[in-house]
Structure formats: C-alpha cells, structure tokens
Amino acid sequence: MLTYHQNMSIQSQNAMPNRNYYVPYASLEQAKTSTHKFDSSRVMSLDGTWDFTYFENERQLPANFFSQVSSDFSGSIEVPSVWQNAGFDHHQYVNVTFPIPYDPPFVPTDNPCGLYHRTFELNCDDSNRYYLNFEGVDSCHYVWVNGQWVGYNQISHSQSEFDITDYCQSGTNHLTVLVFKWSDGTYFEDQDKFRSSGIFRSVYLVERPQAHLQQFRVNTTIDLEKVRGDLIVTFDDVANTLSKKYWLYDTSGELVAHEEDFGGQLAVTIENCQYWTAETPNLYTLIMEVNGEFFKQKIGFRELAWHDRQVYLNGQSIKLLGVNYHDNDPITTRVMTPESLKKDMLMMKAINMNTIRTAHYPKMPEFYELADELGFYVVSEADLECHGIVNLYGNKANYNLVGSDESFLPGVLERIERSVVNNINFPSIIMWSMENESGYGLNFEIGQARTRELDPTRLIHNERAIEPDSTRDNDMSNLDVISMMYPDLRNIEKMCQDESLTKPLFMCEYAHAMGNGPGELKDYFDLIMKYDGYLGGCVWEWADHAVSQTQADGSVKYLYGGDFNEEVHDNNFCVDGMTTPDRKMTAKLIAYRNIHAPLQLVSIDLEAQQVILKNINRFKSADAYQASLRLKVDGVIVKEQSLELSDFPAHSEKTFSIMSLDYASSQLVTVELVITYLEERPIEEHNVVGIQELIIHEPERVIEVENKDEAIEGSSLKVSTSENQDTLVISGDDFSYTWQHSRAGFKQLTVAGQDRLVSTSHFTIWRAPTDNDMYIKQQWLGAGYDRATLALRQSHVEQTDESVTIQNRYALVVVGKQPVAQIELNVTIQSTGEILMDVTFDKDPEFPDLPKFGLNLPLTKELADFEYLGYGPYDNYRDKKEACQIGVYQSTPMEEWHHEYIKPQEYGNHGHCEWLRIGQDHGFEIKGVPNFSYLVHSTEQLTRCANDADLVAEDAYYLSLDYQQNGIGTNSCGPYVQEKNRFSENHFNWQFSITPII
C-alpha cells in the first residue's frame, strides 16, 4: 500500500474529483453572517493538537500503526504546522538543486515520515455523507479512519477531499495520517524556499446530504454602455436535478435579486452594476440553497479581454504592478493564517501594489477571498517547479526534460487542473500560471490547452515559454503573454518597440530585492508606463525567508540556508524580500510606494507657476486622496500649498496653478508632492500614499577655502616632522593634526585638546559587498580591490604663514597585480584648522568598475550624532533613492543600523550631500562630499560577518566620505547595473573640505 508516493502515474487514490472551493452552511442566516469556513455548523475543524510520532524512515513504523491510539504515540504536534518547527528533522533551504538524488519516481530509502493521530466525535446520520478535507500536506499523505484505509494524495499546495462516510461510526472516531517527507511529487515541487514537512494547512470534516451539489461555475459579463452586469452560474449534473434558490445582495448588503426555484442554471442581470477592479473591489454576495445546503460566493462583475498587446479589464487597459508572494513566516515558516495574510496584503495595498503572483503554488482559499475583498489582480500558479533539472549531469541537464518526457505528463496535468478547478470562481484571478522554472514542451502545451478548455475567460501564462524547445515546433497558441524573468532594460525596450510581437510583455519576476536593493526600480516603472504593450511585472519577492531563533539575551537571530547543518543549501539566497521576516516597513517598500504612487509628479515650471500631475489609476479618480506641494530651499520647507483634486479622473493629467518662489543661484531648490488618503487608514504608517520629488535648481559645488587668519589675533601654524620624515604634525590654535605620508591619512585629528581619531584615516575603494554585488564581487576580488593599498611615490610639503600644503603622489596597488590607479593628493591645512583635500584619480581601464572611492575616518564615540543636508532619512544610492527626499536630517550611527539586511553588507549611504556636521562640540563640518555614511561597524566587519545578529560593537564609529559608489542594481538574480549607474569613471578630480567645529 505504501507505494503510491513512488509512482509517477498516481497523484491520488480514492480522493473525490476536483471541485471548486466552497463551504456549505446550514441556513441562510449562517451563510450571510459567517466570516470563516469554521463558522459553518456543517464544518468541523480538525485543527489543533494531534498525537504525533516522528520516524527516520518507514521501516521504523510499528505493525498496524494505522490502528494506534493516543497512548501509543510519543508526543504531540499542532496542526497546521511543520514538524521541523516542533524539533524533528531539520530545516533546509534550497533554491535550485533537488534536495534528494534525482531518480524519479524513487526517493531515498531513509525517507522521514510523521504519523499523526486524533479523534473526533460524530453522531452519524444515514441521510448525510461525511467528507474529510486537507488543504495542504507536504509531501504526501496516506489516510486511515478507525483503522481502515481511506486513500492517498500528493500535490502539497492543493485541496484533497475523501468521502469517509463508510468508515465513520457514531461516537469516537480515530483519524490516522501518515505523511512522508519525500515522494515523486518532490521532483515537481522544487520551489525556492525552506523545505518543510507535515500538515501545514487546515484539516476539517464536512457534513452533507446524500444528494448534493458537487461543483458550480460563476461567469460574469458586463455592458459598459448600459452599466449592466450579467451573472450566470452553471452546475454539475447532480445539482441540476435538485431544488435551488438564490439571493443576490449588492455591495451595501441590499437584496437586489432573488428566485425561489430555478432550473439548470442561474441567470440574473443587474442594472447600474458596480464593477469589480483592483482599485474598486466591489463585491456582490450570492447565496444559493441547493437541497438544504447554503453556499456563499462573492461575485465580482468584471470582464477580461486581451488584444493589441494590451490587457483590458472592463474595457480599460490595465497595468500589473505587483509582487511574488511565498507562504513565509519567521516563526511558523510556511504556515499562514487569514490574519497574517491580511496583514501582508494590507501592506501591499499601502505601497500601491495591485498584483500578486502566488509564487510558486496555489494559496489557501482565504488568500483568494482577501484578494477579492481588498482588490488585487492575481496570477495564480500551479504547484509545479522542477528547477533542479538544470543541475543534473551532462545531457540530462535539459531544462525541457519535464516538458517533453511523457512520464511527467500525469503530474503536470493534474497539478495544472487542480490549480484551475479549485480556484476558478475567485474574481481576483485574472491569469493562470502553468509552472515556474520547469522548462517547456508538449506536456505543458497539453496543460495549456486543458486550461483554455476549463476556463477561456482568463489569460494563460508560462514563464519558460520565453526559451522553448529548439528541437521541435512549439505551440504557443494558448499563451497570452510573453513572460520574462529579470530582463535587461535595454532588451525590454527593444521588445516593446518590436512590432512583430503581438502579445503583451509581462515580467513574472524582476527587481530581485535581496539585501541592499533593489536598485533601478524606477527605470522599470518608467518603461511600464511608457509602452502600452508592457503589461507590468512582479517584484521578487515580498518577504525575506528566515527562521527566527531567540537568543539568550532575548534578541532574535534570523537563520538562513546553512544554519541548520544541511549538507545541501543555498546560503542566504532566500533572504530576498522587500520586507523583513517580521514585516517591517522598510526603505524598499517606501521606495516602491513612492515610485508607484497613483498621482505622479510629471513636471513643474516655477516661472509659469504651474505643476502637472498624472493620475495613473485606471478606474479611480483622485478625489480619494489629498495632496500638497512643498517647495524647499536648502532642504527646508519655505512654502506649502494644497492641491484641489476634484475633477481629476483616472488615467488623465491635470495642470495646477502654484505659488511663486524666488531663490538665489547658490541655493538648492526642490519640490515635493505629498499624497495622503482623505480618510485615515487603520494603520498610521499606511496613511501616506506616496511622496515624489523633483530638483528644480542645483547649485554648482565649489569648495572655497577661506583665509581667516586676519580675524584670529596671534594665530600661529606650527609644523614638525618625524625623524623618518613620514609624519607631519600641523598645529594651530585649538587644533593639532598628525599626517602620515605612507598611509595617505591622518593618524590623529585633535580639536580643542580632544583626540577624534581612533585609528589612522585611509582612502579606500572597497565596500562590504551587497547581495546584488554577487557577481561583480568576483571581479573585484580577482582584481584585489579588497586588498588595495596606497603606495607613496612622491612627497612634497609647502608651508606659508597661513597654510601647509602636502603634495603627494600614490599608486593604488595590489600584491601580484599592476597598479589599479595613480592618485595625486593635495592636502591643504589652513591656520584655522580647515582641511582642503584635492584628489586626482586615474584608473587603469583594464580594471573593473570600482565599488567606491572615499576616505574612511574611524572616529571616537563621543562624536555620536550628525546632521546633514542631502537625501534622507533612509540609506540611498544613485539608483536607489526614491524612498528619500532632500532635506536637513539628524541621526546617530546606532539609528542608522536598521537591521534590514540579515546578511551584513554595505548600508547607510546618504547621497546628494551638500554639507555634513559630525558631533555637537569639537567635531567637524564637511563640504564637497557627495556621499557619506556614519556607521557602527567597520567595512571589514561587515565584509567578514555572516549574520546581522553576530555583529559586535567596535571602539569607533566609522565615517566614510565618498566621491562615488557603484550602483546597487539587482544582479543577485538580474542584470548588472546600467551604464549610467556604474562607477566606471577612469579619471576624476574631487575636492572637499573638513573644518573643525571649535
């Protein structure tokens, strides 16, 4: 009997036929008022504490294990949960490689399994039937009731239903479930996630009459001209013979249609119909009575069409601005609740996402109900990924193997069918996705044809169709979009301009949000808005995958691949979300929100006193928002004006008259558009709809060194040289600086008698690599950038009564390599203590782009705060700054450590810096530095350390004054940064000043 899980032709045994999701209720009132399936008196929840025993393999199972009672079990476990969270087995994170040897249909002999048991009470009624439902079990499960075998099922993320009427008895019943960690389904479920096992979604029993509805199908059409909606519900053959009634309630709960007894199908027309869209998720409530059972179905009147490379909803071309969404929680791993789903989805709405791809499997039913209610376009994906094929050896590593080998067809087809049939009545689903990273071929073409047969009203998507089987003629006739993963922006534009393409472009994944990223997000958005044929895309991905571990001091450490002693793992590649495991509102989310704001700041003309805004909503006017313009001079708001948003329909531009502003050529002038909701949101941080900014005037950066000697009576400038001529001590009133020629840095900066350096300052080109530096990092390491030092080639010192100028030449060198660059460094120290640094940098073009170039100063911790004019308050980079606005900000190194990046890496940069002040007393004022960071941790520790929780306090705060940094990009799983965002300059000159605050 225990062989079904190693048979590719069997997906289930004795399970009921696939049906659409529904819940039967006992009365009209119960159906109307219920908020959850367990509110139904016909549904018995079997969630809770079960008896449980874990076995390393099935050979350890006792004889007649299926007849065991509670006292026979070694412990207990909660359902839903995964047994790795209960102390059994271990977590494993794998991205691509199969977690077991590839030899389908076989799995390892030592296949861990969990034996589950619980009792339930029944008062059996011969007029009823009893159906046992599982909503999610990984990887497969065998079921017994009262010691009698019931059936088998695999396909982890799908409903399975068993008729257990003949096995039940009045009184106490025993339910036993054997779950295997691996099955032949493991070869179909190689998704990028933590691999975990057990009953991870709800289990329940449904009591139904002997003759009952089996399935029904909802269809809606609309007539825009007549503002009318038509609803048709068709039923299975059994239901067609049964008595039926219906009640249809509008969006406010008013009864708008009712029929006491109707025939084979339900048909109703609604005048003045309120249509469903993601922006206006108007839902009607249909309640049907069929032979004494009541069924509630939310109805979204909407109609999809696709032509001319565009997708139309209710006659309007739409854009998909979304995210990939795994089931993922730091405490429960893959176990989600309606509450956790809603929390996530409200955050998504708050940052202007309108689309969710269910990566890479169908969600629990409550997700789709929430998507209907809250308003999301859903790309619902089958539980199907076979990515590990690409890591097989030799010719077997054929990406299209699963698509072309007929032995995989039963599994492929059943997984696709279940994903469609189970969820077919949710209006939020606009596209069926066949699979992820499983290649292409005839098997998928059969699946696509079957999907079209089951549902001709929605689009069909297959991610791997972009690279079909080159050995055959591929049939793309049932695919409706051209899907792409992590495309290069240049290629996208070429495809958008290619008139031979007839289908819209859709990025099922883009903007890999791993670690410090994603960069260049706005560039993708701009192209989506520019081209009608560019449907949109889904960022990868919503939240970091990590397992929470509480430390002895009460703090939390987030664990990723390799932290569980797994032999096979993919490190921190799972830590790739827009938000943290515990769902903080990160700078990434705020950047997405601002970029995708429904009202866009198009242009401003201060001379004409006009600003142009664009409402990019497709259905919703701007009167749900309030907006104001802020004019800022040198980071300070000088004027603010509210904008009247009435008569501002969806998908239109509007010109507003604005106030005038006078400013000097030396001033930095910006304008901010601040959009909030007219009505406050339940969660305060969700009130802001978006903030956008334009720079109106930018002054030229000129570093002027003022000679203040005349204002300082008796000022003196003294210079002394060490015996070896390597160090200079330059001192004046209230300051003393020690310069070291060989290190190209200051050994000490003393202000008002207080030493401010913990160790020698130094120039560097190294940054702690970000996750998105994954590939360029190899070039950087190969070039020795992490080991590069300055070698003194020439030194000259000039002194006057007012200043000392150090004129040195250096080579930037690495052991075993030619010089990376030649550097001329002029350091002028005024009698006031002001330091002017003039750097001329000439890089050998043979070397790769630089990570950065800047001056690092390890400062004493007495200098614990700073203020600056520049982008803030979040860290930002040349291609990742949309979460920020230019302003005057105050912070501390500790406040800069946001704990957003589980794996330590470069963080904390602030760009477009006009000036910077470090410390309140006896610190420094700095000008001419475009980028800076002031951090708790050294670059060396950030480079070396593997987890944010392992970072330790150091004896300094680290100030980095940077000329430039390389862009952030998304190259951990995407293209390298665009040319405009690369630090590819081979020659530059940079001047900046450091002035003591005395």
At position 450, the amino acid (one-letter code) is R
Task: Point out which residues pair with 294 in neighbouring strands.
Answer: 25, 289
At position 392, the amino acid (one-letter code) is L
Separation of alpha carbons 765 and 960, rounded Å: 11
> 993 and 705 in contact (C-beta within 8 Å)?
yes
Residue with tokens 């006792």: 62
Cβ count within 10 A of residue 498:
11
Cβ count within 10 A of residue 466:
13
> Which pairing describes strands 137-138 and 198-199: parallel, antiparallel, or unpaired?
antiparallel
For the chain, how many helices (H) and strands (E)?
Answer: 13, 61
Helix (H, G, I), strand (E, B) or coil at 146: coil
The one catalytic residue in 369, 417, 509, 906 is 509
> 470 and 440 in contact (C-beta within 8 Å)?
no
The dihedral through the CA atoms of 456, 459, 460, 465 has a sign that is positive
Residue 744: name the closest of 805, 820, 809 by CA. Answer: 809
Cβ count within 10 A of residue 608:
10
At position 722, the amino acid (one-letter code) is S
Separation of alpha carbons 444 and 475, rounded Å: 10
Output the furthest CA–CA distance in the chain (Å, rounded): 109
Q: How far apart are the first and last CA of the chain?
A: 85
Separation of alpha carbons 586 and 368, rounded Å: 26
Helical axes 521-530 vs 587-595, angle rounded to 10°: 20
Catalytic (active site) residue 567: no
Q: What is the edge-to-edge ordering of all strands in the sheet holding 216-223?
A: 216-223, 228-235, 266-271
Provide the token pair at 231: 């609803």
Separation of alpha carbons 257 and 571, rounded Å: 57
Helix (H, G, I), strand (E, B) or coil at 128: strand
Separation of alpha carbons 565 and 549, rounded Å: 15
Residue 137: name the closest of 120, 151, 154 by CA. Answer: 154
Catalytic (active site) residue 509: yes
Cα radius of gyration (the chain): 32
The one catalytic residue in 289, 437, 520, 906 is 437
> What distance lies between CA 717 and its chain's CA centroid?
57
At position 556, the amino acid (one-letter code) is V
Task: Point out which residues pair with 855 in neighbouring strands.
Answer: 763, 961
Provide the token pair at 787: 């080991």
- Please list the active-site residues: 437, 509
